[in-house]
Amino acid sequence: MALSWNIRIRRRSWFRFILPIIVLGLLCYGTWAYCHKLCYEQVDKRLRQKSVSVGLICAVCFLDVVVIFIWLQIVILVGPGTQPHVAPFLILPIASEEKTSNTSQNTSVEYDAVVPPKCYQSDPHGYPIWCSECQSLKMERTHHSSELGHCIPRFDHYCMWIGTVIGRDNYRLFVQFAAYFSTLLLIMWVSICVYIRIITQHNHNYSPNLNANIISTLVFAILGWLLTASLLASSIFYMSQNKTSLEAIIDSKRKKFGTRKIFCYYSEANKLRFVVEFDRSEFHSFWDKKSILANIKDFMGSNILMWIIPLGKPYTSRCKSDGKSGSKTTLVEILGPYEETLSDYTIQAIEDKISRGEYLATLRASGDDSDPAY
């Protein structure tokens, strides 16, 4: 039984590389057919347009190198990122201030206390979401990847064409990959369509019949362009709403089947945490900054120049703590750049629900009275 399970895992791990290898093979084949069969044999030798031929070959080869370089960064050099280990929050029962203080003092020595943020996603009892595989809390917008075996911050989707998960670290590279790849394929199929008519009408010592490799490249280029252009368009659309692809799918299912979204919020006025629920009629983009540019910057970075420069850097190296130090640590110190911030509109909606008494439970957490830096 264990042997068959291991075989299935190995087959699955190898299977995810099949499509990327096929895509890479088609890219190499299309580049050869385009550069040699179209640009060299037809445009250069037959039509005597050497400068155009050289320009097209240089443009396509340059974009090939850029696409492959981005691909390597997405899969190997940068990756989707890994959420640092976050120890469980210490949830305390509602009691007198003296009893709560004593409880905090007695447990702080034995417990790797992490000071909870002001607001976090929770279950109906106020407990944060737990990942049993990573033995860590799953913070906002984080999901566990069965393919990679760890939790991915701002999990977007698993791209079977690239062969890896798209997350916080490599999302900008993925958008650039789709943009540069669609540009490459656009140049290929548009130029082929332009020269098809010229070549077929040009009966000058050559047969007007087109090479089959050129036709195949045209078909692959059009299909690939439709795919990459749609990926690019959908990514831009979701970024403008500050949503990931997975969040868009989950939200649509929640609206359809009536599932809930719950947050645990610390009210400074009441010195308590309130568990607040949003039902299907109240769903919105909880991370939407109400500005398209601000939302896109949240995904692509504040430096607009880096939106077009295909160089990525993992955020993991900037996280200074893993939450296992044994001392009280704020979540900001643990997560670093992986920290997610709810929109002002969402915070206001939560506070309005609390003021109307629309909450599921109240609780305390260790560190709430120590004025943490939220």
Q: Based on the fold, state whether residues 274 and 346 are members of the same structural domain.
A: yes
Q: Taking each helix axis as running N to C, give the angle between helix 212-240 and helix 292-300, from 0 to 180 degrees, rounded to the nearest 10.
A: 120
Domain that holds residue 134: 89-97+108-154+259-287+313-363
Q: Based on the fold, state whether residues 70 and 180 are members of the same structural domain.
A: yes
Burial 218-234 (b: 16+ CB within 10 A, else e): bebbbebbebbbebbee
What are the residue ranges of helices labelled H in 45-135?
Answer: 50-72, 97-108
Q: Based on the fold, state whether residues 340 and 230 are members of the same structural domain.
A: no
Spatial CB neighbours of 191, under 8 Å, sequence gap ≥ 6: 38, 56
Q: Domain for residue 34, yes or no? A: yes
Q: Domain for residue 125, yes or no? A: yes
- Active-site position among 159, 193, 264, 319: 159
| 242: Cα within 13 Å, side-chain hemisphere | 20
Structural domain tally of the chain? Answer: 2
Q: Domain for residue 137, yes or no? A: yes
Q: Based on the fold, state whether residues 27 and 66 are members of the same structural domain.
A: yes
Q: Based on the fold, state whether residues 141 and 264 are members of the same structural domain.
A: yes
Q: Domain for residue 159, yes or no? A: no
Q: Domain for residue 191, yes or no? A: yes
Q: Domain for residue 252, yes or no? A: no
Query: How far is residue 180's CA from residue 174's CA, in Å, rounded to a whole number?
Result: 10
Tell me the β-bridge partners of 265.
119, 274
How much is the pLDDT for 191?
94
Q: Based on the fold, state whether residues 2 and 53 are members of the same structural domain.
A: yes
Residue ranges for the chain with pLDDT beneath 70: 1-14, 93-113, 201-209, 254-259, 283-284, 316-328, 369-374
**Where do we find the tokens 């190296």?**
317
Q: Based on the fold, state whether residues 178 and 317 are members of the same structural domain.
A: no
Q: Based on the fold, state whether residues 205 and 281 are members of the same structural domain.
A: no
How much is the pLDDT for 168?
94
How much is the pLDDT for 73?
95
Q: Torsion over CA of 290, 292, 297 and 303, rounded to 10 degrees?
A: -130
Confidence (pTM):
0.85
Among residues 208, 242, 276, which one ends one of the domains?
Answer: 242
Q: Based on the fold, state whether residues 5 and 134 are members of the same structural domain.
A: no
Q: Based on the fold, state whether residues 73 and 173 are members of the same structural domain.
A: yes
Query: Where is 266: in which H helix or E strand?
Result: strand 261-267
Give the β-pairing of 114-115 and 329-330: parallel
Spatial CB neighbours of 184, under 8 Å, sequence gap ≥ 6: 60, 63, 64, 67
Q: Based on the fold, state whether residues 359 and 263 are members of the same structural domain.
A: yes
How much is the pLDDT for 88?
86
Q: Look up residue 37 and give its two tokens.
A: 């069969």
Q: Is 159 part of the annotated catalytic residue set?
A: yes
How much is the pLDDT for 96?
39
How much is the pLDDT for 98?
43
Among residues 214, 242, 270, which one ends one of the domains?
Answer: 242
Q: Based on the fold, state whether residues 147 and 37 are members of the same structural domain.
A: no
Q: Domain for residue 356, yes or no? A: yes
Q: Domain for residue 374, yes or no? A: no
